[in-house]
Amino acid sequence: MILDRFLITDQAAVVTGAGRGIGAATAVALAQAGADVVISARTEEQLHKVAHEIEAAGRRALGVPADLSALDAAAGLAAAAKDAFGRLDIVVNNVGGTMPRGFMQTKPHHLENAFQFNVGIAHALTRAAVPHLLETGGSVVNISSVMGRVSGRGYLAYGTAKAALAHYTRLAALDLAPKVRINAIAVGSVATSALDIVMTDDGLRTQMEGNTPLGRIGDPDDIAAAVLYLASPAGAYITGKVLEVDGGIDAPNLDMGLPDL
């Protein structure tokens, strides 16, 4: 049956930024599809909750509280999966983000930090994972952003870093083919903690929904489903691609209200 191609029974995955939002939804989705999951985030309490949901799906969870901006900690997640589960099949690089700033407020170190946080961590973990992924014919999914392909005021550091992650995905896919697949998702506006101010303000939420062709803000499960597609046998003929899961937007759907120069 075609649905069997979405199963990842007895595989092992690593998901970063898995304490809440997209990372948490993705970790649970992978477990529901059959995988054991290493989850990492800064906050241990959040990991306990996600681990409980993974175990409720009948799979094993290993929570690793860590600040992944320490690249050795990010790289160590690959070995943690191998030690805990005996294999590693899937890596989801979900850690990322940067505060919006105007052009003149974006200092060189803001750009450097954005690149490190959104690309450097992903590379550190992926590089450490590759020897294990080669054994299983595994898959990597990077969480990029719509802001990596559209223009909007205030997103200089964030958009540049996410564009770099998207092209990193294309380049790495050729380096790792044919044994390891690597793809990315360009995420639009999703109802996570990053959008708390929008979700609790009727005016802002209405503006964002009205500027989105599908008329709603995304749900973390929308992204989790796309991750499962790319990571599972259902996506076996896809590598080096950036899947746009953004409600159809071609421009920022919220005015950041940043001051002029």
The strand ranges marked E within the chain are 12-16, 36-41, 61-65, 90-93, 139-145, 181-187, 242-245
Cβ neighbors of 171 (< 8 A, separation 6 or more) are none
Distance between CA atoms of 253 and 206, rounded to whole angstroms?
Answer: 10
State how far Cα 118 lies from the chain centre.
Answer: 10
Residue 171's CB is within 10 A of a number of other CB atoms, namely 11
Token pair of 232, please? 């599972």
Residue 131's CB is within 10 A of a number of other CB atoms, namely 12
**Per-residue b/e over 79-97, b at no fewer than 16 CB within 10 Å?**
ebbbebbebbbbbbbbbbb
Comparing CA positions, the residue from 67, 55, 187, 42 lying closest to residue 117 is: 67
Active site members: 158
Residue positions counted in the chain: 261
Instruction: State the residue for tokens 């790289």.
Output: 75
Distance between CA atoms of 90 and 129, rounded to whole angstroms?
Answer: 9
Residue at 82: amino acid letter: K
